[in-house]
Amino acid sequence: MRHYDRGDAQNDPSSPLSGQQLEANWPDTEAVGIVFNWDPGQSKLATIKYLSGNEDALRLFADQFAKIEEGFKPVIRLAEPGVVEMVVNLAERDSPAFLLVLLALLGHAVYL
């Protein structure tokens, strides 16, 4: 889980709360946080939920992952108002890219 900190947004290049487009974020001043869920004993599907009050949150979030190559094609949808859900099948070949995406979403972007 990651909760965005408004007080540190200007010093955190991965925070969407800064309102600026940076290398490791997208601007969304209504973002709340990220929740990751995966139980490998139950499923090969990992889920990330992006929480935001922004009416355009689905587009903002999905646009970031449309640019990724390497065959990374998660299912991204609006689960309910304020909750954008990304589902990735970790049994498929996009799982290495998923680890880099997950690290970036949790505030630990890796640049290659």
In a domain, 55, yes or no: yes
Count of domains forming the chain: 1
pLDDT in the model for residue 94: 54
* Average pLDDT along the chain, 112 residues, taken 10 residues at a time: 91 88 86 96 94 96 77 88 94 74 86 60
Q: Which domain holds residue 27?
A: 2-105
In a domain? residue 101: yes
What is the widest separation between alpha-carbon atoms in the chain?
Answer: 39
Here the CATH number for the domain that contains residue 84 is 3.30.70
- pLDDT at residue number 64: 82
Cα–Cα dist 56/104, whole Å: 21
